[in-house]
Copies of this chain bind each other. A is one copy, B any other.
């Protein structure tokens, strides 16, 4: 099983990488965007980037380190945006709409991101996997919980379990990107177009916001 054995104390941000390191990460992102599984070799990356594969070892210590750096680059931005969103002076309703669009847009840019995270978390048995959950899952879950609580406090949202909400919303936002090769067979087009991205944002927003904004039935549900 692929496992990450180490996690840098503080993952690098995009702008802290050298141009060659950035080119290697861009190449890995391009390859993974075309594939349905996290399956990539150093020679794939060398071919895509035009750089020597030894640079992967030099900059990232190897393939796993490169995948970790790629995940951090995409996911840190998402976490920072989410923590900023929670503190913004807009309504909880507006925050949740922005969050749902933001998640789908993140997966639109990096359709491999959710699978890459679960590949790095692995079977949950390594310390590094735990740190990834701690760095990238907990902040998103906490921010969602805060927005849900703000919405209940303002009288806009029905109460919803934040942990179950995290799992179902992530799955709903991600799945069209995971299943994009199925689209090829259904629609003759194997990627999510910009028009489809917009319709999907509208769809997932409608599903989640309608329920959040509908008061729960007065009697305890059976």
Please report A residues at the B interface, Cβ cutoff 8 Å. 1-2, 34-39, 118-119, 121-124, 129-130, 133-134, 137-138, 141, 160-161, 163-165, 167-176, 178-186, 190, 199-200, 203-204, 206-208, 210-211, 214, 221
Contacts and interface: CB of A to CB of B under 8 A. Distances in A.
Contacts of A174: 171, 175
Nearest to A137: B182
B167 A118 contact: no
Nearest to A184: B124
A200 B176 CA distance: 21
Contact of A170 (B39, B129, B175, B210): B175
Contacts of A183: 124
B123 A36 contact: yes
A206 B199 contact: no
A119 B37 contact: yes
Contact of A181 (B38, B121, B167): B121
5 contacts: A118-B179, A124-B182, A129-B181, A137-B185, A210-B211
